[in-house]
Every structure is written in structure tokens, then in C-alpha cells.
Amino acid sequence: MPNDKKAVGSRIVFKEKLDGYGKHVKFKAQIVTQGFSQVPGLDFTETFSSVARFTTLRIFLVLTAFLNLELHQVDVVGAYLQGDLDEEIYIKVPDGLAEKYGSG
């Protein structure tokens, strides 16, 4: 890693996946970064999160009711997984993996 760069920490988050009846299906592990350690203007210059205006949401709900349509809400967790980055980002190996695979 270059001397003028700082690595962002990371950790492993474990989650149990359940089926519609609440029975265990599988365990999932996900590596997440600890972005709170970044400093605005130093580690990044801007942030973006697409959010609809409340008036747009209200119009959408009125049209749904007027046209007698069904409305479903979905929470997309991995919306930015395939996003393009213009800058280099360095991430530390999570604790537990460094010891197992010999990197530090």
C-alpha cells in the first residue's frame, strides 16, 4: 500500500437466513467496511445516496390507489455492489482472516 494512503478497516458480519416459516436455511458471511473511519475532504470528497422527494412518493401512492394497483416495498441492501469507483480504496483484512491465511 502506498505511504500516502490509509486503509479502511473491515469486519465480517454473520447472518442466519430463515425461510418463510422461520426455519434455518443457511448462514451467510459478509465483509463490510468501517467507513466511519474516513475523514471528509481527506479520504473522500463527496457522498451520494439517491432518495426520492416526498412529493414524488405521494404522487406515486395516489396513482397506485387511483388505478387500483398493488404496491410492494423492497429494501435493496446490495444496491451499490457493482458501482464504478473513480478513486483507489484500500481495505484492511478483517480480524480472523489475517491469522488464518497468513496476511497481516
pLDDT tens digit string along 55-100? 988 998 999 999 999 988 766 655 556 667 677 778 888 877 766 6
Q: Which residues does 61 contact at the CB level (< 8 Å), separation at least 6?
A: 71
Whole-prediction pTM? 0.44
Percent of the chain with pLDDT over 70: 65
Q: Which is it for the CA torsion 93, 96, 102, 104, positive or negative?
A: positive
Give the distance between the most distant pair of CA atoms in the chain.
61
Does residue 37 have a pLDDT over 70? no
Does residue 15 have a pLDDT over 70? yes
